[in-house]
Amino acid sequence: MERHTSALALVLASKPDLPVHCVRPHAAEKAADWFVRRFPGDVLYAVKANPHPAVIDAVCRAGVSWFDVASLPEIKLVAERRPEATLAFMHPVKSRAAIRAAYFEYGVRIFAVDTAEELAKLLAETDNAKDLHIIVRLAVASDYAQHKLERKFGAEGAEAVLLLREARRAAEELGVSFHVGSQCMRPDAWRLAMTAVGSTIRKAGVTVDIVDVGGGFPCAYPGLTPPPMEDYVREIETAFEAMPVLENADLWCEPGRALCAEAGSHVVRVELRKRDALYLNDGGYGALFDAAHGGLVFPARLLREAGGPRRPLAPFRLYGPTCDSIDAMAGPFMLPADVSEGDYIEIGQTGAYGAALAGGFNGFGVYREAVLEDAPFASAYAAPQADSLSAYGQHID
Ligand SMILES: Cc1ncc(COP(=O)(O)O)c(C=O)c1O
């Protein structure tokens, strides 16, 4: 893959016609290293957030060797690249063929379920295997998350109690998992979830070997500055110790966004300016999906050679390249007031659910790729910790 010292160096060297998916593997390595050292349990990387091989290699260099995978292609990707990895198939709804291939071809032993039907499917497709680690996904509130996941997955109430008992009978190891929602802005969301999960385990009267506190750990975006990551880990550790129903359980987490968001940015070109609206060559059907459909504002900076006059920043709306009018990003994205057609912009913190979500609608969604060596826009793992977004939207000069 091509390598540059910065996005500006990339633009000056080649004036790219395609949008560029930029990866800063060192940022993913730093984030993963932080989690490996500071999280008081095992860290599984949620591959869906960014399956780029450079990111997978980076988290491995930091010591992550367990992966949360959600599909057979993700299993293949990690198993082929990292044969030593332990894979956990954490999607609560899987095809029969995927279960069979995961178990018999790839040696996967860890599976999530959230219904009795899925448990039955899992047992049938593994020929009633006796070495399964079954993780029961429980529904919890996701009130403090930017992206709520609560309605789609998770057992609750009496069904959860029965499922835990049934899974206990079938499992070599029994786990519970939950997800407080992605980009969760409040560390105490985990305490509330773990209290609720503890009460369900007590009602079921089962011994639990694994508590998986999911993903949801946030990244800093303009207007969304989360508390320090230490606060999240402290809250989880305290809540885990306070769960009276556990004796020797292991603690796991499955961060996606927190390990890779800072490790990605996108270089896009302004194809047209209409007053405060910039029409770009990437957008809501591409790597900027979350800006169009998830209400996120990404930091942005103009990539111009040093030396020109500095202009004040102004708020801009962005439009993606497709013909669909929902391919629109309200922002506001703060950029120098004289930004114009032909300018390049680096959009930062797009490493999570960025290129991973990009589709090919309207013939777009084709990227160049590059490794960048400079620092990400902001980092929760750098010392001193970046706590301000004030550097966003400035000239690189
Ligand atoms: C089961 C599971 N684990 C982990 C994650 C990663 O979440 P995040 O990127 O918010 O850390 C997800 C995201 O959808 C998920 O569904």
Percent of the chain with pLDDT over 90: 89
DSSP string, 133-162: EEEEEB----TTEEE--TTTS-B-HHHHHH
Average pLDDT, the chain: 94
Which domains are present in the chain?
Answer: 2-22+262-372 (2.40.37.10), 25-260 (3.20.20.10)
* pLDDT score of 247 more than 80: yes
Gyration radius of the chain over CA positions: 22
pLDDT digits (tens, 9 = 90+) for 84-123: 999 999 999 999 999 999 999 999 999 999 999 999 999 9
Whole-number Å distance, alpha carbon 333 to ligand 1 midpoint, is 27
- Going through the chain in order, the beta strands assigned E by DSSP cover 2-4, 20-23, 42-46, 66-69, 86-89, 110-113, 133-137, 145-147, 173-177, 182-184, 210-212, 250-253, 264-274, 277-280, 300-302, 313-319, 328-336, 344-347, 368-372
Where does the pLDDT of residue 150 fall: very low under 50, low under 70, confident under 90, or very high at 90 and above? Answer: low
**What pLDDT is attached to residue 51?**
98
Q: Which of 166, 148, 104 is nearest to 129 (CA)?
A: 104
Average pLDDT over residues 169-195: 97
> What does the pLDDT average to over 175-190?
96
- Our answer on whether the CB atom of 255 is closer than 6 Å to any ligand 1 atom is yes
Range of weakest confidence among 9-13, 126-130, 147-151, 279-283: 147-151
257 Cβ closer than 6 Å to some ligand 1 atom: yes
Whether 254 is in the pocket of ligand 1, judged by its Cβ within 6 Å, is yes
d(CA 294, CA 221): 12
pLDDT (mean) for 77-83: 97
Q: Is the CB of 198 under 6 A from ligand 1?
A: no
Closest CA to 261 of 223, 286, 231, 296: 296
Longest dimension (CA), the chain: 71
- 8 Å CB contact between 270 and 339: yes
* Tens-digit pLDDT profile for residues 53-62: 999 999 999 9
Per-residue pLDDT tens digits for 347-397: 999 999 999 999 999 999 999 999 999 999 999 998 644 434 444 454 333
Residue 51 Cβ contacting ligand 1 at under 6 Å: no
Residue 311 has pLDDT above 90, yes or no: no
What is the 44 CA–ligand 1 centroid distance (Å)? 10
Asked if residue 384 has a cis previous peptide bond (ω within 30° of 0), the answer is: yes
Place of tokens 């709306």: 317
Q: Are β-strands 210-212 and 250-253 bridged in parallel, bridged antiparallel, or unpaired?
A: parallel
Using the predicted structure, report yes or no on whether residue 37 has a pLDDT greater than 60: yes
Is the pLDDT reported for residue 77 higher than 50?
yes
**Average pLDDT for 246-263:** 96
Q: Please tell me the distance from the alpha carbon of residue 183 to that of residue 190, in angstroms, as a whole number.
A: 13
By alpha-carbon position, which residue is closest to atom 5 of ligand 1? 215
Range in 36-45, 142-151, 229-238, 306-315 the model is least confident about: 142-151
Please state the length of the chain: 397
Q: Looking at 26-30, 103-107, 307-311, 340-344, which range is the least confident one?
A: 307-311
- Of 119, 211, 214, 209, nearest to 163 by C-alpha is 119
Higher confidence at residue 246 or residue 174? 174
Q: Average pLDDT in the 59-69 region?
A: 98
- The pLDDT-based confidence of 273 (bands split at 50, 70, 90) is very high
pLDDT at residue 383, as a whole number: 61
Which atom belonging to ligand 1 lies closest to the Cα atom of 90?
1
Give pLDDT, residue 146. Answer: 81
Residue 382, pLDDT score: 80
